[in-house]
Structure formats: C-alpha cells, structure tokens
Amino acid sequence: MTDTHSDVLILGGGSGGYACAIRAAQLRLSVTLIEADKIGGTCLHRGCIPTKALLHVAETADAARHGGSIGVRTTFDGIDMDGVRTYRDSTVERLYKGLSGLIAHHKITTVTGYGTYVGDRAVDVDGRRYTGDALVLATGSNARLVPGIGVGERILTSDQALQLDFVPRTAIVLGGGVIGVEFASMWASLGADVTVVEALPRLIAAEDPWCSKQLERAFRKRGITTRTGVKVVSAKETDSAVTVELDSGDIIEAEVLLIAVGRGPNTAASGFAEHGIAMDGPWVATDDRLRTSIERVYAVGDIVTGPQLAHRGFQHGIFVAEDIAGRAPVPVDDQLIPKVTYSHPEVASVGLTEADAREKFGEVTTLTYDLAGNGKSQILATAGGVKVIRAGSSDSTGPLVGVQMVGDRVGELIGEAQIAVAWEALPSDIAPFVHAHPTQNEAFGEAMMALAGVPLHAHT
Ligand SMILES: Cc1cc2nc3c(=O)[nH]c(=O)nc-3n(C[C@H](O)[C@H](O)[C@H](O)COP(=O)(O)OP(=O)(O)OC[C@H]3O[C@@H](n4cnc5c(N)ncnc54)[C@H](O)[C@@H]3O)c2cc1C
C-alpha cells in the first residue's frame, strides 16, 4: 500500500461516493475519496438539504399567514432574506461539519481536486496518479439546460435559484417535475406569483396520475398557475424581466425563469468513455450489481440510470462497499425506493403506479382513503389521500404492490408503506397493527383495513 494506492478508490464525494467510503472503511478497507468541491455533493450543498430548509421557511410563512384561521393572531410581514440565508447555510454547515467528522473518524483519505479516469482502476488528480484494488465512480449529475436558453441574471437553474437574495414577485418554472414543483411551491408560499410550464400532460409525470391530479388541484387552490402540454420555444432576458415564448403562441413574462428540466450525469469530462468504460447514452452502463464493463470498476448514484435520489445513492454506495469486501449484499431495487416531493402538499410513493401494476399483474385492486376522514390531517387542515394498490382482484389475496400519498407531511409516512411493499405484505397482515391516534399514519392503517375487508372510518 502506498499513499496513492488503496483498497478502494472513489471518484466523487456526494451521497453515493461518501456512503461507499464510510461503509468500506467500516469493513476495514483502506479508502481514498477524491472530490473536486465539497464532500456531501449535490444533496448537501445544492440539493436536498438547502431546498428543504427553504421549504420549511415557506411552511413557516404559510403558518404565519393563516394563524388567524385557528385563532392565533399572526401576520405575515414579509421575508428577511439575510435571516433565511443564515438559517439555510447554518443548517448545511452543521451537517457538513458532522459529515467531515465522520469521514475523519473512519480514517478515509480525502483528496481535493478534479479527477480524470485514465483506465484500469486509476485516476489522475493534478498530475498525481491514484490507484485502487477497486474503483468506484460517483461523479453525480448537473442541471440540464434547454437548447438555446442559457443561464443568465434572470434565467436560473436550481443552483442559482437557491442562492437568490430576493423573493421574486413573479416566477416562471420551466418543468413540472420534482425540483420544479418544489420551487414553485416554495416561491408561492413566500409571496411570488408562479406559473409552471410543463411539456407533458401533467405535473410530476413519474408519479401515478392520481397524485398529479391531487397536486394540480391543490396548486390551483393556492393560486399557482399550471400550464401542461405546453413547450417553451424561447426565453429572453431584459433588464427587469424574462420574456418566455410558448409553443401555444403565448408570451409570458416574469422576474425570473427557473429551468428545471431534469439532470444529466457528470460523465462527459472525466475520461470514462475515452478509457473504455461502456456507456448507456450519457450514463455509465452497469449490471444489477453496479459493475461497469471494466473489472472491479463500479458506478453508483446519479450516473447510473434510474431515479436520481440521494438515498438511492447511499444504498448504491453501501451495496458496492459490501460487494468489494466479499459480502453478498442484495442489489438495490429501484422499484422499492421511496420518492417524496416536498411541496405543499407533499407527494410520496413507493412501488408500482396503478398502470404499471395492471401491466405486471393483469388484475389489481385499488383503494383510496381520503384524508378528510383522518383526524390529524383535519387538525392540520390538509387535503389529500392515501392510494393503495394490491395485486389481484378484490376477492383474491394478493400482496400490496404500490402506495401513493398526497397531503402535508405525508413524506414522513412512506417508511411503513415501503416496508409493507418490500415485504409483499397482504393487507390482512397490516390491518391488525394498531396505528396511534390521532396520527396521519392512521390513514395508511385505515386503507389497509378497508382493503382487508374490515374498514372502520370508511364508506366502503
Ligand atoms: C434542487 C435539488 C433538490 C434535490 N432534492 C432531493 C431530495 O429532497 N431528496 C433526494 O433524495 N434527492 C434530492 N436531490 C437529488 C440528490 O441531490 C442526488 O440524487 C444525489 O446528490 C446524487 O448523489 P451522487 O453521489 O450520485 O452525486 P452528487 O451528489 O452530485 O455528487 C457527485 C460529487 O462528485 C464530484 N465530482 C464530479 N466529478 C468529479 C471529478 N471528475 N473529480 C472529482 N470530483 C468530482 C462533485 O463535485 C460532487 O460533489 C435533489 C437534487 C437537486 C438538484
């Protein structure tokens, strides 16, 4: 072992890379982690954490605005962006400090610099070569742009939008996927007039259409304009606005335009394809054990096609570390990864949509439990529901294969649904479990009771 050779060499210190580093170190492997920027990657510095901090600011603004409706004398007097920045940055900083401590505690060697793959299991950083018995590629993703529309003063990706030092009076969000919807929700709560433009026929198109319908209805009620089935043709900045031309012929204008049309993998500039790594379009091609075409070279996280989520990256990293250490980990199943959109209201899901379940099983049974019947949701004044999907007809005993939820705070409920779907639980397995009252969690329990033929607070 030299200072430039380790058991495991990892390129990229985001969710996938650092999780792999920690698990490999726990398994007593020597680890070198190469990171061009800051350990923690997109999720900690430009993604999950800062956006959810801003969404919490948004929730607090809504609570202040609506205090009067429950007899609390509050008013919403505006946003202090310095205060918001301090809160957001200190949240990120605390977590970054904790993560850095964890990396040091596990005696992981970190190298700061941009790494270029040079073949085999070797990476060059600033003229120095690092090698590993195994190499893990974890270079993550970046915001995609629309051809002909560049980033500017008022045309932003999520990276710039997170750093805005003002709340726009008006905003156009191009893209109604998770990131677009979260920003639309956040800006609307902070007082902006928001229009979401989405080329597909519905918002959050990766989710069950039932979720899209619920979310679109809630956005309508909140005064967020949604224009689906419409494409942006061009966007031009002036000193005071962005003018956006739609393929419907309409011209709309706002103070800022957020481009949220998905993220592409960081694979073009790191030497992968040039040095023989087989690609799947822009993604690194892997088998289900995350092995690339080169022996003992793995890929994890957003560079592997599939849902781009931090917790998928963590699980990929853990899986690969255990595989390298000779354990026999179970491959990560994208279908069982819970997904949450942290808008107001939230959307959470796991397993199959109804359409996918029908395709796979032929006959399925679905049940939707409306949050109108859930005490805690009524206390919180949130609308929405829990939709559950079971394989087989209503008189059969098929397992639970999909769960979708819409409503404030439902992201916190998806854990139980995930376990039930992953364990292929029958509704009758879950129905006898007691769910604490009053919790929103009861809505899932009630849905299971109804599906098992023993409904309580349901008109079935
Ligand atoms: C606005 C936004 C909100 C999000 N919210 C959520 C959320 O709520 N929940 C969720 O699960 N996911 C969320 N995500 C997605 C999540 O951030 C990503 O799925 C996750 O960060 C992917 O992890 P990764 O390790 O694959 O890549 P990344 O986190 O992108 O890390 C890759 C790292 O590699 C480094 N790197 C790249 N190339 C090189 C090189 N050649 N040499 C050295 N270093 C290199 C980069 O600097 C980076 O630090 C969000 C993303 C965005 C943009």
**Helices in 110-224 by DSSP H: which ranges?**
158-161, 178-189, 209-221
Give how far Cα 230 sits from Cα of 27, 150, 173, 201, 247, Å: 51, 20, 12, 8, 6
Nearest CA to ligand 1 atom 5: 48
| Mean pLDDT on 291-314 | 98
Q: What is the DSSP string of 306-344?
A: S---HHHHHHHHHHHHHHHTT--PPPP-GGG--EEE-SS
pLDDT in tens, 53-65: 999 999 999 999 9
Q: Which atom of ligand 1 is nearest to the CA of 308?
A: 19
**Helices in 74-136 by DSSP H: which ranges?**
81-105
How would you list the strands of the sheet with 242-246, edge to edge?
232-237, 242-246, 251-254
Do residues 381 and 211 lie in contact, with contact meaning Cβ atoms separated by under 8 Å? Answer: no
Q: What is the dihedral of CA 224, 230, 235, 241, to 10 degrees?
A: -20
pLDDT in tens, 251-298: 999 999 999 999 999 999 889 999 999 999 999 999 999 999 999 999
CA 140 to ligand 1 centroid distance, Å: 5
Spatial distance between the Cα atoms of 351 and 156, rounded to a whole number of angstroms: 33
- Other Cβ atoms less than 10 A from the Cβ of 53: the count is 18
Residues whose beta carbon lies within 6 Å of some atom of ligand 1: 11-17, 34-37, 41-43, 46-48, 51-52, 114-115, 138-141, 158, 179, 266, 270, 301-302, 308-311, 313, 342
Q: What is the pLDDT of residue 454?
A: 86
| pLDDT > 90: percent of the chain | 95
Q: Which atom of ligand 1 is nearest to the CA of 14?
A: 31
* 89: its two tokens: 């940055």
Whether 1 shows a pLDDT value over 80: the answer reads: no
Q: Which of 56, 344, 437, 459 is catalytic?
A: 437
Nearest CA to ligand 1 atom 20: 310
DSSP H or E segment with residue 382: none
Q: Which band of pLDDT confidence, cut at 50, 70 and 90, is reported for residue 2?
A: low
pLDDT in tens, 138-163: 999 999 999 999 999 999 999 999 99
With CA atoms as reference, report the closest residue to 196 among 223, 233, 159, 169: 223
Please, what are the domains in the chain?
5-142+265-334 (3.50.50.60), 155-261 (3.50.50.60), 345-451 (3.30.390.30)
CA 14 to ligand 1 centroid distance, Å: 5
The helix/strand count (H/E) of the chain reads as 13, 24
Do residues 24 and 109 lie in contact, with contact meaning Cβ atoms separated by under 8 Å? Answer: no
Spatial distance between the Cα atoms of 343 and 321, rounded to a whole number of angstroms: 34
Do residues 414 and 348 lie in contact, with contact meaning Cβ atoms separated by under 8 Å? Answer: yes
pTM (two decimals): 0.97
- Other Cβ atoms less than 10 A from the Cβ of 180: the count is 25
Give the CB-side neighbour count of residue 308, counting CA atoms within 13 A: 23
| Mean pLDDT on 328-346 | 97
What is the bridge-based pairing of β-strands 256-259 and 170-174? parallel
Nearest CA to ligand 1 atom 2: 47
With CA atoms as reference, report the closest residue to 149 among 231, 266, 239: 231
Q: Which atom of ligand 1 is nearest to the CA of 311?
A: 11
437 is catalytic: yes
**Which residue type is seen at 95?**
L
CA 157 to ligand 1 centroid distance, Å: 14
CA 30 to ligand 1 centroid distance, Å: 24
Q: Tokens 């946003």 identify what position? A: 79
What does pLDDT average to over the chain?
Answer: 96
CA 314 to ligand 1 centroid distance, Å: 11
Give how far Cα 366 sits from Cα of 218, 374, 423, Å: 22, 19, 18
With CA atoms as reference, report the closest residue to 346 among 317, 376, 373, 383: 383
Whether 11 shows a pLDDT value over 80: the answer reads: yes
**Which residue type is seen at 80?**
D
Q: What is the 3-state secondary structure (H, E, C) of 16-58?
A: HHHHHHHHHHHCCCCEEEEECCCCCHHHHHHCHHHHHHHHHHH
pLDDT in tens, 84-122: 999 999 999 999 999 999 999 999 999 999 999 999 999
Nearest CA to ligand 1 atom 9: 48
Do residues 294 and 271 lie in contact, with contact meaning Cβ atoms separated by under 8 Å? Answer: no
pLDDT in tens, 186-243: 999 999 999 999 999 999 999 999 999 999 999 999 999 999 999 999 999 998 999 9
